[in-house]
Each structure stands twice: as structure tokens, then as C-alpha cells.
């Protein structure tokens, strides 16, 4: 069985590849890697958009001799395998994510989010990769839209991959969290763009969401890289907020217009379902959904991590959370992480 000891120097001198690296998370994650005093020896950007790679390469924070830019698509297994040569650590962030687009183009999402995930797994098995962390989403928990269904399938693939690695020193784990504050396409940007019009559309006044910043998401993945056993789904413990409070924080003088929930949209985010609760442990900073197959010693894992199993029937959802952000806290977060120095209007 896999050793459960932590590895604080996992990234020191390592070669790290990030799929979907020109996205919001990928760029911030790589920026953090390059700042590490004992960081990786090589960082590979793997993505399919040549313009975004070019623009990224011209930014001062990425002008580093360790950077490599590799054009490719996770759908193309041969190209992906070539990119994996000499790589130690893979962060799989590539995905198609827009819920409405998934409903109209389902197989395109399957090809990227499911078949692409399997390509990542097979290429890791065929090369010298030692650790793979895949990013998931709250929408993979009890999915009601195709995007969530593809990510649930992806999660299952990465968990199961740990059972076929044989004698390889290779682990696959997953980090699951919800919408990232200020990431590309987030509701914050929509509110900021519309506040000059005086009206902000909200789908439902009861709607709640978990909150995580890009920097918090990056630190969560780095923490998992140090402690991963392989096969677990890690869910950070996060505060919730009401979407109407976010609207008031961004544009307090705007009128709110209720437009109704869109197809495939949930009223509240959920990251751990009651069915998951029987395999979920609680730690200081996170919950961990344990693999159902005996990949490693569960009792030892719980002891070493200081973890306890949650109560059967536990449901981790944004509306039943015990941590909440108010309007003022949201305003400070938006100003610090999204507005880029442009003050969010006070009430």
C-alpha cells in the first residue's frame, strides 16, 4: 500500500506541467511556483490557444528561463504524451466549463472533460510522472447538468487510476471547490460590467455560493501535493455568501432584477452529498472524501492526519454552512482580488 508520509519538498527541482495553464487558475498557480525559493526546475504550460500562450509569455512574471510553452489539446493523447516526457508533477486544470454550452454541445464536453482526463491518466502511467492533481467542481456533486456529469466522471477516473498504477510511484488525487472569486467569466465580472447600467440581474434572491479566491485555490492544490495519498477528493472548508449580498457589495446603488434560475443551475452549491458522508473525513482546513476501494490503510490515514469521520448524512452545501461573508467582507475581497486597485463603491 502507498506510504502516507507527507512530502514537503515535492516541487523542489521538479518538472511541473499544468494543463489548461493559460486559464485563471493556471496562470496564478504558475506565478506562485516561480516565486518559490525551492521551486521547480521546469514549468510546462500545456494549452491549445497560441494567442493566450503568447500573451502569457510576454508578461514580466513569466519571463523566466524555467518556462516552457507547449501547444496541444488533452484530447490528443500522442501530443500529451510527448509533453509529459521528463515531467514529475501534473496539475490537470484543462476543461470545458460553461454550463449552457455543455447542454448544446454535450459530446464536445465529453471529449475534453472525460476522454481528456483518461488521456492524462494513461500518459501519466506511461511516463515518469509521480503525482497528478486534478481540479474538480462543486457541480460534480449530485450533478444536474452535463458539465457536472462530465466532471463527476472525470473524478471517478482519477480515483480509479490509483488501483491500476501497479508498482509505479504514482498518485492521483482531486481537489474540488466551487466558483472562484474573480476568475474569468465569474459573476463578479458580470456585476462590475453592468453596474454602470444601474441594474444587476440575479437568477434567484435565495441563491448562495461558496467563496474561494484564486490564491486560496492555489494554496489548496499546493497543500494537497505535499500530503496526497492518492485516491482522495479534497474539499476545502470555505465560507458562503448570498449572491444578493455580492451584488450589494459591488454596486450598492443598483436595482436588482430577478430573472429566474437558468437551465442546469443550482440554487445552492454542494460539494459533499449525504451519500458521500459515509466516506468523508474532517480535517482542520478541509474535508476528504476517501476512496471506496482499499487503496491504502484508512485507519492509519485518519490517525496521521488527525482526521475524524463526519456524521452519516452530513451534507456540505453553501446554504447550510456555518461560515458566512457579509456585504462589507465581500466588498473588501472584491477590491483586493478582482478590482485590481479600482475601489468598489461603498454603500
pLDDT at position 346, please? 44
Q: Does residue 217 belong to any structural domain of this protein?
A: no
Separation of alpha carbons 291 and 9, rounded Å: 25
Q: Does residue 244 belong to any structural domain of this protein?
A: no
Neighbour-count burial for 87-96, b at 16+ CB within 10 Å, e otherwise: bbbbbbbbbb
Q: Does residue 306 belong to any structural domain of this protein?
A: no
Q: Which residues lie across from 337 on neighbouring strands?
A: none
The boundaries of the domain holding residue 115 are: 11-176
Q: Does residue 3 belong to any structural domain of this protein?
A: no
pLDDT at position 1, please? 43
CA atoms within 13 A on the CB side of 303: 5
Cα 91 to its chain centre, rounded Å, is 10
Q: Does residue 17 belong to any structural domain of this protein?
A: yes
Spatial CA neighbour of 119 closest among 174, 69, 168, 82: 82
Q: Supply the CATH number for residue 72's domain.
A: 3.40.50.720
Spatial CA neighbour of 308 closest among 341, 283, 278: 283
Q: Does residue 57 belong to any structural domain of this protein?
A: yes
pLDDT at position 215, please? 94
Q: Contact, 158 vs 165, CB < 8 A?
A: no
What are the residue numbers of the active site?
Answer: 139
pLDDT at position 7, please? 55
Q: What's the angle, vertex CA 264, arms to CA 258 and CA 269, rounded to 5?
A: 80
Q: Does residue 261 belong to any structural domain of this protein?
A: no
pLDDT at position 342, please? 41
Tens of each residue's pLDDT in the chain, 347 residues: 444 544 557 899 999 999 999 999 999 999 999 999 999 999 999 999 999 999 999 999 999 999 999 999 999 999 999 999 999 999 999 999 999 999 999 999 999 999 999 999 999 999 999 999 999 999 999 999 999 999 999 999 999 999 999 889 999 999 999 888 877 767 888 898 888 899 999 999 999 999 999 999 999 999 999 999 999 999 999 999 999 999 999 999 999 999 998 888 899 999 999 999 999 999 999 999 999 988 899 999 999 999 999 999 999 999 999 999 999 999 999 998 875 434 444 43
In the chain, the number of structural domains is 1
Spatial CA neighbour of 115 closest among 146, 87, 73, 83: 73
pTM: 0.93
- What's the farthest any 2 CA atoms get from each other in the chain? 61
Q: Does residue 274 belong to any structural domain of this protein?
A: no
pLDDT at position 145, please? 96
DSSP-derived pairing of the beta strands 308-309 and 280-282: antiparallel
Amino acid at each position: 500500500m502507498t506510504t502516507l508520509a507527507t512530502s514537503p519538498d515535492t516541487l523542489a527541482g521538479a518538472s511541473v506541467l499544468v494543463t489548461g495553464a493559460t486559464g485563471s487558475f493556471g496562470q496564478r498557480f504558475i506565478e506562485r511556483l516561480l516565486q518559490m525559493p525551492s521551486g521547480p526546475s521546469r514549468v510546462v504550460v500545456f494549452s491549445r490557444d497560441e494567442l493566450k500562450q503568447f500573451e502569457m509569455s510576454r508578461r514580466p512574471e513569466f519571463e523566466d528561463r524555467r518556462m516552457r510553452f507547449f501547444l496541444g489539446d488533452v484530447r490528443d493523447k500522442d501530443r500529451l504524451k510527448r509533453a509529459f516526457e521528463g515531467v514529475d508533477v501534473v496539475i490537470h486544470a484543462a476543461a470545458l466549463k460553461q454550463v449552457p454550452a455543455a447542454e448544446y454541445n454535450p459530446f464536445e464536453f465529453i471529449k475534453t472533460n472525460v476522454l481528456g482526463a483518461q488521456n492524462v491518466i494513461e500518459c501519466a502511467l506511461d511516463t515518469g510522472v509521480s503525482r497528478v492533481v486534478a481540479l474538480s467542481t462543486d457541480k460534480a456533486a449530485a450533478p444536474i447538468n452535463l458539465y457536472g456529469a462530465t466532471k463527476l466522471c472525470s473524478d471517478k477516473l482519477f480515483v480509479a487510476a490509483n488501483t491500476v498504477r501497479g508498482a509505479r510511484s504514482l498518485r492521483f488525487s482531486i481537489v474540488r471547490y466551487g466558483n472562484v472569486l474573480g476568475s474569468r467569466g465569474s459573476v463578479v465580472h458580470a456585476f462590475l460590467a453592468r453596474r454602470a447600467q444601474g441594474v444587476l440581474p440575479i437568477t434567484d434572491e435565495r441563491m448562495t455560493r461558496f467563496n474561494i479566491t484564486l490564491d486560496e485555490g492555489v494554496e489548496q492544490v499546493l497543500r494537497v501535493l505535499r500530503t496526497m495519498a492518492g485516491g482522495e477528493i479534497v474539499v476545502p472548508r470555505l465560507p458562503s455568501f448570498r449572491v444578493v449580498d455580492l451584488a450589494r457589495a459591488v454596486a450598492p446603488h443598483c436595482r436588482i432584477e430577478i430573472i429566474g434560475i437558468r437551465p442546469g443551475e443550482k440554487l445552492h452549491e454542494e460539494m459533499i452529498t449525504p451519500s458521500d458522508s459515509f466516506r468523508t473525513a474532517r480535517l482542520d482546513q478541509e474535508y476528504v472524501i476517501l476512496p471506496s476501494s482499499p487503496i491504502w490503510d484508512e485507519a492509519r490515514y485518519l490517525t496521521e492526519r488527525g482526521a475524524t469521520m463526519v456524521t452519516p448524512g452530513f451534507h456540505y452545501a453553501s446554504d447550510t454552512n456555518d461560515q458566512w461573508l457579509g456585504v462589507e467582507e465581500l466588498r473588501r475581497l472584491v477590491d483586493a482580488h478582482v478590482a485590481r486597485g479600482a475601489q468598489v463603491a461603498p454603500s
